[in-house]
Amino acid sequence: MNKPIKRISTVIVSLILLACTDGALNNPYVQKEDNGKVIYTVFSERPKHLDPAKAYSSNEYAIIAQVYEPLFQYHYLKRPYQLEPLLAQSMPRVRYFDAQNKPLDETALATDIAYSEYLLTIRKGVKFQPHPSFNLVLHKTLPEDWAGDDLYRLPLATRVLTSDDFIYQIKRLADPATQSPIAGLMGGYIIGFNDFSKKQKALQTQFPQLRKAQRLQAESMMGVRKINEQQFIIRIKGKYPQFINWLAMPFFSPMAWEADEFYSHQILLKKNMSLDWFPVGTGPYFLKENNPNRRMVLLKNPNFHDDFYPSQGTAESLSAGLLADAGKQLPLTDKVIFSLEKESIPYWNKFLQGYYDSSGISSDSFDQAVVFSAIGGVGLTDNMRARDIGLQTAVTTSTHYLGFNMLDDVVGGYTQKNKKLRQAISIVMDYEEYISIFQNGRGVPSQSIIPPGIFGHVGGQQGVNPVVYEWRGKAVRRTVSQAKELLTAAGYENGIDSATGKPLVLYFDSMDSGPDSKARLNWLRKQFDKLNIQLVIRGTDYNRFQEKMRNGNAQMFMWAWNADYPDPENFLFLLYGKNAKAVHGGENAANYQNAEFDALFEQMSTMDNTPQRQAIIDKMINITQQDAAWLWGFHPKAFSLHHAWYKNGNPNLMANNKTKYINIDPVLRANYQAKWNKPVYWPLAIVLLVFLCLLIPAYLIYRRIERSTAL
């Protein structure tokens, strides 16, 4: 066979073989990975920290909450959110002491309690993941033949979890070298925390040759004491029931001293391998691959302890089929692959192709996914339903609000005139419209500071803000006419100051810039126009805005807050007088101070969730609604989509370790992927036909020339 024919045959055979392939041509994964119980998801940027003492953002928690485990976790299905033991054997035993260290009864007044002592008992037999740090020989010398690219090619070992590991982590939180974001807060509660921090700083200066693990183990912390291998005590100042919520966060996950020691090896330091790169935990997964420019891979931890899918939940979770896996050993999947997707459109397209199991809904794809009924109900488009895609919605544990600076001479203050001005503005600020335009309907107008799902929130008619809404079978915003009556009573009839005869001009400070922000600010002006109030937008950069807020120079502003833990104290403290930002440097950005509210807050903050606590919260909410230091704004609503093979998805907004509960049907996924990604070969056939049509005449000419040459 001559060379031209041979080349043509090769091309044709290659095209035929390509057409005979079984898999989808656009599959982004290795085929052997594609068959098992694997979760496919995304990340949009490299997590800055994977060290649980430092990590404090959602993209970091998406990884470390699957690797590390704290003492407690939030029940996956129960609402309101409820804590339960995770690495703890049981809920803590709490004892109270007075200033003379004498024990007090559980019913003692919070003012009499000088110290609270938490006795914590951990589970027996829990082991850390396999990791080279537990092979103590490697602390001194690494194998010469190790390429330095994969930690898990080193000899692995493990050991049993003890109370020392929790104590060591608390010491890490206090160590200035760690730079933990909660060190300042914990220093105000844990006895001896600040003293330990000072000692560590001194040791680091005096003995720089000491490695971190040596420093931390050389000193004890007064408020943290080991009882035995399974028990330890944490002593804090006063009574602070919310402390247990902090014990459910990754900050308080156990840390093996061996991990710190191992990562202090010079070779590993040069390769930037550390706890911020490869964590070491007891969780259901371990981080096998960390390539933040491409993907991150979690594998099932072979040493994972007994942990079972819950067998109890809400009536809604039962009807949604979320108890189908009740009692099964966790985790329910073997691998989690996080792929880097910086742009929303490729992420969305791959989700529709079945290559990602779940997806949020960006503004670009919202109309493709969701439709609203005439009465405001939300549903999926025909295209989504045809693909058997499911939709989940949940009001987030966060709040967005417009704040009035209570130190301001015009919008601040506590006289009836001041209150009525703020109340009038609150009525005309149509947040139903705002949510529809700028949130794609993803939110609910706030009636109070406490979002749904948090103890203290009251729904229905009883929970309506009577200053802004009326109840007519549902909450209906009061009219502009009613707002104008309040404005007149405040001395600003038709937007004119009765004292000066001049138009009322108010100022809104904003960091926003860009076309989207311009639309929002124009909308804001229109709301004030309803009262004939002139609104001046004072745009500024982030640093200048923060300075204005710290100094109390902003008149009105927009702010938001996400819950650290599901307790009303974590929201109501935003209006506590001693947290006023301009006065005390706290999170009370409105600088609101009301003596009655503050007294109730101090009483409420140390109480358990009882009817008595609810009654106090109701009083506090009523005070803030009347004072209207905030224009309550809205609680965002999270929308998420998932494919039919993605099981047990539940919008638990406090739990970070949800991955272990997810189940995958890989056969169903493969069937849908094959259906949605069938190769289309007819364009290839046309190209081949055209190619042959062009090639045959050329070949005939070639053969004619070849014969004439031979003659």
Asked if residue 54 lies in contact with residue 182, where contact means CB atoms within 8 angstroms, the answer is no
* Same-domain check for residues 65 and 13: no
Q: Specify if 306 maps to a domain.
A: no
The last residue of one of the domains, among 588, 620, 638, is: 638
The number of distinct structural domains making up the chain is 3
Does pLDDT of 11 surpass 70? no
Q: With beta carbons less than 8 A apart as the criterion, state whether 449 and 630 touch.
A: yes
Distance of CA 687 to the CA centre of its chain: 50
Predicted confidence (pLDDT) per residue in 274-289, tens digit: 999 999 999 999 999 9
Q: Which residue has the tokens 């085929």?
A: 31
Judge if 77 and 170 occupy the same domain: yes
Q: Do 126 and 78 reside in the same domain of the chain?
A: yes
Q: What is the pLDDT of residue 36?
A: 85
Same domain membership, residue 689 and residue 550: no
Residue 398 identity: S
pLDDT in tens, 560-618: 999 989 999 999 999 999 999 999 888 999 999 999 999 999 999 999 899 999 999 99
7 and 143 assigned to the same domain: no
Do 129 and 169 lie in a common domain? yes
Q: Exposed, middle or buried, 380 (CB in 10 Å: 0-12/13-18/19+)?
A: middle
Q: Which of 27, 4, 29, 11 lies closest to 684 in space, CA to CA?
A: 11
Q: Is residue 176 part of a domain?
A: yes
Give the residue carrying structure tokens 């939030």: 74
Q: Let me know if residue 333 belongs to a domain.
A: no
Average pLDDT, the chain: 92
Q: What is the mean pLDDT of residues 689-696?
A: 76
pLDDT at 327: 98
* H helix or E strand, kind and range, residue 340: strand 335-340
pLDDT band with cut points at 50, 70 and 90 for residue 5: low
- Angstrom distance (rounded) from CA 594 to CA 551: 20
Residue 682: band (very low, low, confident or very high) from pLDDT cuts 50, 70, 90? low
Q: Which whole number is the average pLDDT over 327-351?
A: 96
> Is 158 found in the same domain as 115?
yes
- The pLDDT of residue 144 is 86
Work out the number of other CB atoms within 10 angstroms of the CB of residue 349. 14
Q: Are residues 700 and 587 in the same domain?
A: no
Same domain, residue pair 11 and 87: no
Q: Which domain holds residue 466?
A: 398-638
Last residue of a domain, one of 264, 296, 326: 264
The one-letter code for the residue type at 187 is G
Q: CATH code at 197?
A: 3.90.76.10
Q: Please write the tens of the pLDDT for every residue from 183-232.
A: 998 999 999 999 999 999 999 999 988 889 999 999 999 999 999 999 99
CATH, residue 414: 3.10.105.10
**Predicted local confidence at residue 543, as pLDDT:** 86
Share of the chain above pLDDT 70, in %: 93
Residues 568, 706, single domain; the answer is no
Together in a domain, 16 and 56? no
Question: How confident is the model over 170-180, as a mean pLDDT?
Answer: 96
Residue 277 lies in a domain: no
Among residues 232, 264, 296, the one where a domain terminates is 264
Question: Using alpha carbons only, how large is the chain's radius of gyration in Å?
Answer: 31
Residue 659 lies in a domain: no
- In 62-213, DSSP assigns E strands to 72-74, 83-85, 93-97, 103-104, 115-121
Per-residue pLDDT tens digits for 510-538:
987 666 788 999 999 999 999 999 999 99
The yes-or-no verdict on residue 55 having pLDDT over 90 is yes
Longest dimension (CA), the chain: 120
Q: What is the pLDDT of residue 145?
A: 86
Does residue 74 sit within a domain? yes
pLDDT per residue over 120-144, tens digit each?
A: 999 999 999 999 999 999 998 999 8
Average pLDDT over residues 150-172: 97
Q: Average of pLDDT values for 400-424? A: 97
Are 57 and 10 members of one domain? no
Query: Which range has the worst mean pLDDT, 35-44, 65-74, 368-377, 656-665?
Result: 368-377
CB 486 within 8 A of CB 427: yes
Q: 108-122, pLDDT tens digit by residue? A: 999 999 999 999 999
Q: Is the model more confident about 30 or about 438?
A: 438
Residue 207, domain member (yes or no): yes
DSSP per-residue codes, 464-488: S-TTTEEESSSEEEPPHHHHHHHHH
* Domain annotation covers residue 605: yes
Over residues 662-685, mean pLDDT: 88
Q: How many CA atoms lie within 13 A of 379 on its CB side?
A: 11
| Stretch among 32-41, 224-233, 301-310, 418-427 having the lowest mean pLDDT | 32-41
